[in-house]
Chain A
Amino acid sequence: MADIGYVALSMAFVLAAYAAVVSLIAVRSGQGDLWLSARNAVWAAVALTSVASAALVYALATRDFSLRYVAEYTSRDLSMPLTLSAWWAGQAGSLLLWSWLLAVFAGVVLIQNRRQNKELTPYTVAVIMAVLAFFLGIVIFAANPFEKLPATPADGLGLNPLLQNKGMLYHPPTLYLGYVGFTVPYAYAMAALMSGRLGNEWIYASRRWALFAWLFLGVGNLLGAQWAYTVLGWGGFWGWDPVENASLMPWLTGTAFLHSAMIQQRRGMLKVWNLALIIATFSLCLFGTAVTRGGILSSVHAFSTGPLGWALVGLIAAVLLVSLWLLWKRMPGLRSEHELDSFVSRESSFLFNNLILVGAAFAIFWGSIFPLLSDAVRGSSVTVEPSFYNQVTGPIFLAMIVLMGLCPLIGWRKASRENLVRNALIPVAMALAVAPLLYGQGVRSVAALLAFPSMAFVAAAGLQEFYRGVRARVRGHGDSLLWALPRLVWFNKPRYGGQIVHLGIILIAMGVASYFMYSTDASGVLAPGESLSVGRYELTLDGIEQRSTETRDIIAANLAVTRDGEPDGAIAPEKVLFRSQRSVMTNIGLRSGLREDLYVVLSSVGEDGRASIQAFVNPLVTWIWIGGGVMLAGTAIAFWPDRRERRVALHLPEMEFRALEASRA
């Protein structure tokens, strides 16, 4: 099986390179039979990478320890789902997953474009196949998952206990879907530049891909945060580690792209900016892969070091060089079709939102590579503390939130003052109502008094949109109140899906801001009967309990909880010793609620039987995960096919399309 896998990968590598070159020749020379041959090569690459992936999964499932990869990441006592998840536990497997996803995406692109984008598609496929060939090249020559061990061990080394968690099953692949997904919009952008078809075709073709990649990157980040929160046991979910930063940056620039692409669709502006954004986003995805898998920055989760990181840096350099050169060459064809009509307009508020999103990504990038920069400039490596990111991104994100509320209030092209005032009245009133309310609750920090009212402003602005839409439907179409809302959303999915995403983001922002501003913690060494108080809780150690299973020894601290002085059940954080691997893992005691989480960690148990306990009260953290769900739902709605796209596909302006629809009805 393993040999089949390796042979399949080698053939896929050759075919990917072939498809890349031949698609280009085919479209340049206009030879249809060459294009057919290239397409066949793509399908063969899809099939071969699938065979290789199946071979690896089979080897994992049958615990074939003759393969180094299987022996290093799994063991006989590992459950089957986790054994299969070892596909993405190590470098070689992760890169195989990357390649397979990319090959499948190329196949989907071919299916989507059977009848459209005849000029763009060969270029798009060529770019995807070139990237695929690069990754397959690394897999074959530097990180072969099918490498054999000289002798087959009786058992494998096993998966790192920290990874033995259900988060392992879905967090890494979700993130990879995002990273790999952005290859497709990038390929369309390059296709536009290479073919000289610089209009909106590439934007339309890549919108859904960008949305898809953006969603998975965002959800992947949230799943990672949740994993860190529930498993790692340091009380937080985000540590501004380079690996975390690396997956946040393309999400930020991707968010900027989704917004600025709308301006190009509507007004034919920002063409160069859109191309630059997607080039930056794809490069940041590669950078993220380089940081995670290549270890080019010092990080607690940089999983490996070695030549891979620098190969990827080389790829990023090549991508930037070629892309920017093409962009430069095509500059004269990328003129805006319109000028900015007014300073106070939807367009200009989108531009500021873009500027701020890119600024946030840049600040994070600067912080992440600062050790490398300072080493190069001053000869000593200087890192920035997590507080740097909080200080710098706090105000930027605040500005972003305010703009998020403002954007929908401002009309396209030119907003009249009266209109703006009328639209903003209720949201501003909401913000002004929340501020004294918070002050009355004893909130004194300026940051909190700015942040939470701003969020109320955005939420009110978003809800007002829905309210007005519903009202218009009830009055105009005679909808019943019950049906007006779903119909409203259904008939303009991108717009209202986007608004739902905004509401989800606000929930996330609320949770994140309250965590960073109002999380409290306490720690103490407790003998049985002694207590520790944190927030409105008091924890009393009832006793230490020890038990053993087949593979692990578990020590639990049983703590009685009182809340506001009233008895409120018990909580039992644990320490788990994996006997075979001599490694320790923490099982936190977590009680989640909509208002706050009580989060208790057993740090250690002394020989005198005293337990050292660390406890956190984290307000509103649950809303981060709820906001993630809302964001997912909103994106799914925006992703769904919409009648507007049919109009676009028919190349009709709105008025003519309406006339056509009306004549049909």
Chain B
Amino acid sequence: MIPTLPKAAFFRRKRFLIAALIVVAGIGALIYVGVRGGSMYYMTLAELEAQGDTVYGDKIRLGATVVDGSIQSGGDGVTRFVVTDGTNTLRVSYGGSLPDTFRDGAGVVLQGKLTPSGTFEASSLLAKCPSKYKPGE
């Protein structure tokens, strides 16, 4: 280390503070941009129903329960089923691979879009991972 003349503490601090501010602002900007690009509405079925056709094409995340006996797997790899919150129902189509916990009566979290035909096109499907097994009735 080569000794140099000490600068004023104030100046050192200022330089550091400016750099720190840049870092903080950078992280803030990243979060802001990220939220704008990557957020989606988390809705219940009732809320979705109330929105009507204003949400066609918007990214939506939906939590609901699979209606018993409604699961149909087509030969084209697309699974069709109906979800409910007890009062409202909605038809869903999903083309990806199904998690093991997906079955009649399972709680699912869907991500996707509502199409004008009234079918919810899910691009991702998560089934609740229960920490314990409750037998079907």
Contacts and interface: CB of A to CB of B under 8 A. Distances in A.
Interface of A: 72-73, 89-90, 157-163, 232-234, 298, 300-301, 303-304, 339-343, 348, 351-352, 355-356, 359-360, 362-363, 366-367, 370-371, 374, 380-385, 387-389, 391-392, 395-396, 399, 411, 413-416, 418-419, 523, 525, 581-586, 601, 603-604, 606, 608, 610, 612, 614
Given A351-B16, A416-B1, A363 B31 contact: yes
Given A339-B13, A352-B20, A362-B27, 20 more contacts: A90-B132, A157-B133, A300-B129, A304-B131, A348-B16, A363-B31, A374-B39, A380-B47, A381-B43, A383-B41, A383-B61, A385-B40, A385-B59, A391-B37, A392-B31, A392-B34, A416-B2, A416-B4, A583-B133, A612-B97
A222 to B, nearest CB: 19
Nearest to B18: A343
A665 B123 CA distance: 71
A614 B6 CA distance: 64
16 contacts: A90-B131, A301-B129, A303-B131, A341-B12, A343-B12, A343-B19, A348-B16, A367-B34, A381-B41, A385-B59, A387-B38, A419-B2, A525-B76, A582-B103, A586-B100, A604-B97
A89 B129 CA distance: 13
A584 B2 CA distance: 68
B23 A382 contact: no
B65 interface: no
Contact of B133 (A159, A362, A370): A159
Contacts, number: 176
A298 B133 contact: no
Nearest to B136: A582
Ranked nearest first, the 4 interchain pairs of A and B with the lowest CB-CB distance are A388-B38, A303-B131, A359-B27, A603-B97
A341 B8 CA distance: 10
A339 B41 contact: no
- Residue in B13, B26, B40, B42 with the greatest tally of chain A CB atoms within 10 Å: B42
Interface in B1-54: 1-2, 4, 6, 9, 12-13, 15-16, 19-20, 23-24, 26-27, 30-31, 33-35, 37-43, 47
B103 A370 contact: no
A412 to B, nearest CB: 9
A334 B134 CA distance: 55
B76 to A, nearest CB: 8
Contacts of A362: 27, 31
A159 B134 CA distance: 10
A375 to B, nearest CB: 8
Contacts of A416: 1-2, 4
B63 to A, nearest CB: 7
Nearest to B59: A385
B99 A414 contact: no
Contacts of B40: 382-385
Nearest to A606: B75
Nearest to B74: A606
A70 B130 CA distance: 16
Given A366-B31, A388-B34, A388-B38, A89 B131 contact: yes
A234 B30 contact: no
Contacts of B131: 89-90, 160, 163, 301, 303-304
Nearest to B107: A300
B42 A355 contact: no
Nearest to A72: B132
A366 B98 CA distance: 30
Given A298-B63, A601-B97, A342 B12 contact: yes
A378 to B, nearest CB: 10
B98 A604 contact: yes
Interface residues of B, number: 54
Contacts of B20: 351-352, 355
A300 B128 contact: yes
B86 interface: no
A601 B99 CA distance: 11
Contact of B35 (A163, A370, A604): A370
B69 interface: no
A384 B34 contact: yes
Contacts of A389: 34
Given A380-B43, A583-B103, A612-B97, A352 B23 contact: yes
A232 B129 CA distance: 10
Contacts of A163: 131
Given A388-B37, A523-B97, A612-B77, A411 B126 contact: no
B72 interface: no
B1 A411 contact: yes
A243 B84 CA distance: 26
Given A341-B12, A343-B16, A300 B73 contact: no
A271 B136 CA distance: 57
Interface string B83-102: 00000000000000111110
Contacts of A341: 6, 12
Given A383-B61, A608-B75, A162 B101 contact: yes
Contact of B33 (A157, A158, A391, A418): A391
A604 B31 contact: no
A391 B30 contact: yes
- Residue in A233, A300, A360, A601 with the greatest tally of chain B CB atoms within 10 Å: A300
B12 A413 contact: no
A543 to B, nearest CB: 19
B12 A396 contact: no
B60 to A, nearest CB: 10
B27 A414 contact: no
